[in-house]
Amino acid sequence: MKIENQVTLEFPSRSANEGFARTAAACFAAQLDPTLEEVNDIKTAVSEAVTNAIVHAYPDVLGKIVLKLRIREDHALEIIVKDWGVGIADVDQARTPLFTTGSEERSGMGFTIMESFTDSLKVRSSPGKGTTVTMVRKIARRAGR
């Protein structure tokens, strides 16, 4: 798939950076002229992916998170969130609704939410090496565009 535009952001795993990441993704996606609903879906998916990296990848230390955003020729936004944290031993189990390795205030719905607000979700992870979450959200073409 041909990439028409892209940006890569790198930031430490501080909770304050979740809001930055979601806003940056929404601003970048504006090139596709999304509806408000599409923008909110993108922001929610990015928020969940970045929060997972902050909370689960680096539970006791600050680490690096990379957010890569790509606009594809098929009028879709590709969102990649990568960390180099603890990794996920069993990705299938982690994608099960209500499963969490976090504290009891965590819902265990992060991957389910990401999946419901995007058109595709892929999760690659290796224990001790980190996790890469790749999401794609197609943006509807508006009449006359």
Candidate list 17, 52, 78, 137, residue with the active-site label: 52
Q: Which of 40, 106, 115, 124 is catalytic?
A: 106
List the catalytic residue out of 48, 70, 78, 137: 48
Q: Which residues contact 116 (CB under 8 A, 6 or more apart)?
A: none
Separation CA 113–CA 82 (nearest Å): 18
C-beta of residue 5 within 8 angstroms of C-beta of residue 70: yes
Mark whether 106 is an active-site residue. yes
Q: Which residues contact 61 (CB under 8 A, 6 or more apart)?
A: none
Could you tell me which of 85, 90, 92, 91 has the C-alpha nearest to residue 129?
Answer: 85
Is-catalytic flag, 17?
no
Residues with a catalytic annotation lie at 48, 52, 106
